[in-house]
Structure 1
Amino acid sequence: MFEYELHQIRSAELRREAADERLAREAVRSAHAARREAAGRAAEGEVHPDRTRRHWFTRAA
């Protein structure tokens, strides 16, 4: 009976650890999403005319 109780305790610990890890991953994911969204909003108003034309080759002398 004692081993069964130890098994139940360990199982509950593993479930708690898994839930904590899921919560941490979700927090990181939401932080990344918020950062991407903020960067997208900041870039909407900016216009970079130099970036629209790509220079694939170096200039000839």
Structure 2
Amino acid sequence: MFQHEIHKFRQAELIRQAEAERLARQVRRARRAARRAAKESGGGRVSPDNSGYARAA
């Protein structure tokens, strides 16, 4: 009986780990897609007005 409980615990742990990895992959994929979409639409970052900085030499 003890071995069966260890097996069920390990199985549940592997399922949780797989779900966490799947979620991480989805997040990376979504971020990558958002970056691509921003790059293609030309909606990238706009350089800020640097008037708050002193000119160097």
TM-score normalised over the length of structure 2: 0.74
Counterpart-to-counterpart distance in 1, 2:54 and 2:2: 72
* Higher gyration radius (CA): 1
Sequence identity (%):
16
Q: After the TM superposition, which segments of 4 or more aligned residues of structure 1 sit over 2 Å from their partners?
A: 54-58
TM-score normalised over the length of structure 1: 0.70
Counterpart-to-counterpart distance in 1, 2:28 and 2:13: 22
2:54 aligns to what? 57
Provide the secondary structure at the position in 2 that maps to 1:36.
helix
Q: How far has the Cα of 1:57 moved from its partner? A: 3.4
- Taking only aligned residues, the RMSD between alpha carbons, in angstroms, comes to 2.6
**Structure 2 residues not aligned, in runs of 5+:** none
